[in-house]
Amino acid sequence: MLRFTPLAITLALAATAGVLSLPALAAEPGRVGQTIIRNGEQAAIKGSDTIFTGTVRIDPLYSANNDMRSSGGSVTFEPGARSNWHIHPVGQVLIVTSGVGRTQEWGKPMQEIKAGDIIICPVGIKHWHGASPTTSMTHISICEEKEPGKVVEWMEPVTDAQYNGQ
Ligand code: MN
Protein backbone atom coordinates (compact mmCIF):
# COMPACT_ATOMS: atom_id res chain seq x y z
CA MET A 1 0.00 0.00 0.00
CA LEU A 2 1.33 3.44 -0.95
CA ARG A 3 1.80 5.92 1.83
CA PHE A 4 1.51 9.56 0.78
CA THR A 5 3.76 11.58 3.01
CA PRO A 6 3.96 15.33 2.36
CA LEU A 7 7.45 14.82 0.87
CA ALA A 8 6.25 12.07 -1.49
CA ILE A 9 3.37 14.26 -2.65
CA THR A 10 5.71 17.20 -3.22
CA LEU A 11 8.08 15.01 -5.25
CA ALA A 12 5.21 13.60 -7.29
CA LEU A 13 3.93 17.08 -8.09
CA ALA A 14 7.42 18.25 -9.00
CA ALA A 15 7.88 15.28 -11.33
CA THR A 16 4.52 15.96 -12.97
CA ALA A 17 5.53 19.57 -13.55
CA GLY A 18 8.76 18.42 -15.19
CA VAL A 19 10.91 19.97 -12.49
CA LEU A 20 12.75 16.74 -11.84
CA SER A 21 13.33 15.79 -15.47
CA LEU A 22 16.91 16.68 -16.26
CA PRO A 23 17.61 16.77 -20.00
CA ALA A 24 21.21 15.87 -20.80
CA LEU A 25 21.91 19.09 -22.70
CA ALA A 26 25.67 18.71 -22.64
CA ALA A 27 25.42 15.38 -24.45
CA GLU A 28 23.51 16.79 -27.42
CA PRO A 29 25.59 17.06 -30.58
CA GLY A 30 26.43 20.56 -31.69
CA ARG A 31 26.14 22.13 -28.25
CA VAL A 32 28.98 24.27 -26.99
CA GLY A 33 30.39 23.42 -23.58
CA GLN A 34 31.35 25.73 -20.77
CA THR A 35 33.69 28.63 -21.33
CA ILE A 36 36.17 29.52 -18.62
CA ILE A 37 37.69 32.97 -19.03
CA ARG A 38 40.91 32.88 -17.05
CA ASN A 39 41.90 35.75 -14.81
CA GLY A 40 44.36 37.93 -16.68
CA GLU A 41 43.03 37.19 -20.17
CA GLN A 42 41.08 40.45 -20.50
CA ALA A 43 42.76 43.84 -20.49
CA ALA A 44 41.40 46.65 -18.36
CA ILE A 45 39.91 49.68 -20.11
CA LYS A 46 40.16 53.32 -19.03
CA GLY A 47 36.70 54.84 -18.68
CA SER A 48 36.11 57.50 -21.34
CA ASP A 49 35.80 61.07 -20.09
CA THR A 50 32.85 61.49 -22.48
CA ILE A 51 30.72 59.28 -20.20
CA PHE A 52 32.51 59.48 -16.82
CA THR A 53 33.78 62.27 -14.55
CA GLY A 54 37.09 61.45 -12.85
CA THR A 55 39.18 58.30 -13.06
CA VAL A 56 37.34 55.08 -13.86
CA ARG A 57 38.66 51.63 -14.76
CA ILE A 58 36.55 48.93 -16.40
CA ASP A 59 37.62 45.31 -16.05
CA PRO A 60 35.57 43.34 -18.59
CA LEU A 61 34.09 40.12 -17.20
CA TYR A 62 31.98 38.58 -19.97
CA SER A 63 30.14 39.51 -23.15
CA ALA A 64 26.71 38.61 -24.44
CA ASN A 65 26.55 36.10 -27.27
CA ASN A 66 23.95 34.62 -29.58
CA ASP A 67 22.32 32.55 -26.83
CA MET A 68 22.84 34.65 -23.69
CA ARG A 69 21.85 38.30 -23.58
CA SER A 70 23.55 39.48 -20.39
CA SER A 71 27.03 40.91 -20.11
CA GLY A 72 29.09 41.87 -17.08
CA GLY A 73 31.96 44.11 -16.09
CA SER A 74 33.67 45.28 -12.93
CA VAL A 75 33.90 49.07 -12.72
CA THR A 76 36.21 50.88 -10.29
CA PHE A 77 35.64 54.56 -9.53
CA GLU A 78 38.41 56.56 -7.82
CA PRO A 79 37.21 59.01 -5.12
CA GLY A 80 34.93 61.63 -6.67
CA ALA A 81 34.53 59.74 -9.95
CA ARG A 82 31.06 58.94 -11.29
CA SER A 83 29.17 58.02 -14.42
CA ASN A 84 27.15 60.46 -16.48
CA TRP A 85 23.40 60.30 -16.12
CA HIS A 86 22.08 57.37 -18.18
CA ILE A 87 19.32 54.81 -18.65
CA HIS A 88 19.44 51.07 -19.38
CA PRO A 89 16.96 49.82 -22.00
CA VAL A 90 16.69 46.42 -20.28
CA GLY A 91 17.73 47.46 -16.75
CA GLN A 92 20.90 46.79 -14.76
CA VAL A 93 22.03 45.04 -11.59
CA LEU A 94 24.95 46.50 -9.62
CA ILE A 95 26.76 44.44 -6.99
CA VAL A 96 29.09 46.62 -4.93
CA THR A 97 32.22 44.55 -4.29
CA SER A 98 34.34 47.07 -2.43
CA GLY A 99 34.41 50.58 -1.04
CA VAL A 100 31.79 53.27 -0.58
CA GLY A 101 29.90 55.02 -3.33
CA ARG A 102 26.87 57.00 -4.31
CA THR A 103 23.91 56.55 -6.64
CA GLN A 104 20.87 58.63 -7.51
CA GLU A 105 17.69 58.34 -9.51
CA TRP A 106 16.56 61.46 -11.37
CA GLY A 107 14.28 63.50 -9.08
CA LYS A 108 15.18 61.54 -5.94
CA PRO A 109 17.83 62.08 -3.23
CA MET A 110 21.37 60.79 -3.70
CA GLN A 111 22.04 57.63 -1.66
CA GLU A 112 25.22 56.12 -0.24
CA ILE A 113 26.07 52.54 -1.29
CA LYS A 114 28.61 50.19 0.29
CA ALA A 115 30.35 46.87 -0.40
CA GLY A 116 27.77 44.09 -0.33
CA ASP A 117 24.89 46.29 -1.46
CA ILE A 118 22.95 45.27 -4.58
CA ILE A 119 21.25 47.96 -6.63
CA ILE A 120 18.57 47.06 -9.17
CA CYS A 121 18.13 49.78 -11.79
CA PRO A 122 14.79 49.25 -13.53
CA VAL A 123 14.23 49.64 -17.26
CA GLY A 124 14.37 53.23 -18.43
CA ILE A 125 15.08 54.91 -15.04
CA LYS A 126 17.55 57.80 -15.40
CA HIS A 127 20.34 57.49 -12.81
CA TRP A 128 24.06 57.65 -12.10
CA HIS A 129 26.54 55.76 -9.89
CA GLY A 130 30.04 56.44 -8.63
CA ALA A 131 32.49 56.61 -5.74
CA SER A 132 32.21 58.65 -2.56
CA PRO A 133 34.28 61.86 -2.41
CA THR A 134 36.95 60.24 -0.21
CA THR A 135 36.75 56.48 -0.91
CA SER A 136 36.88 54.46 -4.12
CA MET A 137 34.06 52.10 -5.09
CA THR A 138 34.01 48.97 -7.25
CA HIS A 139 30.84 47.35 -8.50
CA ILE A 140 30.05 44.51 -10.84
CA SER A 141 27.55 45.65 -13.45
CA ILE A 142 25.27 43.15 -15.20
CA CYS A 143 23.09 44.30 -18.09
CA GLU A 144 21.01 42.61 -20.78
CA GLU A 145 21.09 43.75 -24.37
CA LYS A 146 17.96 45.05 -26.05
CA GLU A 147 19.69 44.71 -29.38
CA PRO A 148 23.28 43.59 -29.98
CA GLY A 149 25.69 45.84 -28.10
CA LYS A 150 22.97 48.16 -26.71
CA VAL A 151 22.93 48.17 -22.88
CA VAL A 152 22.99 51.87 -22.01
CA GLU A 153 21.91 55.26 -23.29
CA TRP A 154 24.32 57.95 -22.08
CA MET A 155 23.21 61.47 -21.10
CA GLU A 156 24.70 64.61 -19.52
CA PRO A 157 27.43 64.66 -16.82
CA VAL A 158 26.50 64.72 -13.12
CA THR A 159 27.26 68.22 -11.81
CA ASP A 160 29.23 68.74 -8.59
CA ALA A 161 26.01 70.01 -6.94
CA GLN A 162 24.10 66.87 -7.97
CA TYR A 163 27.01 64.67 -6.85
CA ASN A 164 27.03 66.40 -3.47
CA GLY A 165 23.29 65.98 -3.04
CA GLN A 166 22.50 69.69 -3.31
MN1 MN B 1 23.56 52.31 -14.56
Q: Max CA-CA distance within the chain? A: 75
pLDDT value at position 41? 97
pLDDT value at position 67? 85
Distance 10 CA to ligand 1 centre (A): 41
Distance 153 CA to ligand 1 centre (A): 9
Q: Which of 74, 72, 131, 140 is nearest to 99 (CA)?
A: 131
**Distance separating alpha carbons of residues 65 and 4, to the nearest angstrom:** 46
Q: Domains of the chain by range and CATH?
A: 44-163 (2.60.120.10)
**Distance separating alpha carbons of residues 5 and 2, to the nearest angstrom:** 9
Average pLDDT per 10 consecutive residues for the chain, totaling 166 residues: 46 45 58 90 98 98 91 98 97 98 97 98 96 98 91 97 95
Distance 129 CA to ligand 1 centre (A): 7
